[in-house]
Amino acid sequence: MDHPVRRHRGSLVTIAAPRFSVIIPAYNSADTISAAIDSVLSQTWPAHEIIVVDDGSTDDTAERVRACGEPVHYLHQPNAGVSAARNCGIRAATGDWIAFLDADDLYLPDRLKWHAEWIQREPGLIFYVGNFEHRDEAGNPLGTGMEGTPVGRRLLERAGGAREAVMEGDDILAFIVHQFSDVRCLSVPKSLLEQVGGFPAGIAVGEDVYCIVKLCARARAIGVVCEPLAVYTVHDTGAIRSDTLRAQTESVVTFKRLHSELRDAGPDVRRALKGLVRRVRRDWATALLRQGRRREALKAIAPGLVENPGWSALRDLLSVLRGVKRQA
């Protein structure tokens, strides 16, 4: 690929074209992995390599991957979870930029191109994210990530139909609390991922948010592609949707751990992290209320008064109390 040339302080500087290593963790993904790989092979900006990390599958995942040939590389590890699989892929990657895809999701054709061209034009942005489509298992559209959050809608409005927007300041803090993008739309230098430690071990829910928040804590500006870059397929049998209550419970544990790990972050980031913990506590309590578990809902929300004392936490508690009274 051609390398664009930029004049800088009277001299010509060549901006190298980014080389994307696309990492796909897979576990018993024989039914979907071929389509996921094909969506990467069909990119208008070719991937430098595709690394599939098989996390101890017991089905035909390995055979499906090996049938794809170059530039697909197959790695196997004993079952250790998605974070360990992604970290394995990061270690093995030879590209200077990392992108991710789950084995049951798809890239849209310009996923890599739109980030690659922006990286070459504006290399000062620390990393890049983007919008994505929700679809059901039949392929029917269910909306987009950016439409589903206040900060995402604000950026779409600000872009006014343009493809690109930049998050800075308060937008990044709002993104920490309500993420509208995830790892399938993340493009990040390999060196930066290594600096933040990759993905957290021992976490089953929220590991992607955990990693992206750590990246946000280092960022002054983040590039956002407002058009969808990928497709997230919503499965009713997936781990989160099939047991929403467990997922909400584990999310609270995950983000309290993240808040502790980032204890040296700036005060604005710490405040945003408290907002994230508050949001997942509220979601947890709401899920319990929907199951009629009123006492547990109160136990879920009450610690927020200690973690983040103030009117916001009090309003959350009062809201749950009203829900308890309505059910009584």
185-200 tens-digit pLDDT: 999 999 999 999 999 9
The tokens for 240 are 């989160």
Each residue of 242-268: b (16+ CB within 10 Å) or e? eeeeebbbbbbebbbebbebbeebeee
Q: With pLDDT > 70 as the criterion, what percentage of the chain qualifies? A: 90
pLDDT band at 70 (very low <50, low <70, confident <90, very high): confident
pTM of the model: 0.88
Sketch the domain layout of the chain as residue ranges.
13-241, 243-327
Does 14 have pLDDT greater than 70?
no
pLDDT greater than 80 at residue 324: no
Distance CA 281, CA 296 (A): 12
Q: Classify burial at 180, counting beta carbons within 10 Å of its beta carbon; exposed 0-12, middle 13-18, buried 19 or more.
A: buried
Q: What is the pLDDT of residue 236?
A: 60
Q: Residues near 283 by Cβ (< 8 Å), separated by ≥ 6? A: 248, 251
Residue 82 sits at the vertex; the CA angle it makes with 19 and 50, to the nearest 5 degrees, is: 25
Correct CATH for 13-241 of 3.30.465.10, 1.10.630.10, 3.90.550.10, 3.20.20.70? 3.90.550.10
Least confident residue range of 112-126, 263-277, 312-326? 312-326
Instruction: Tell me the CATH class for 243-327.
Output: mainly alpha
Provide the pLDDT for residue 237: 52
The torsion angles phi and psi of 256, rounded to 5 degrees, stand at: -70, -40
b/e 139-152 (16+ beta carbons within 10 angstroms → b): eeeeebbbeebebb
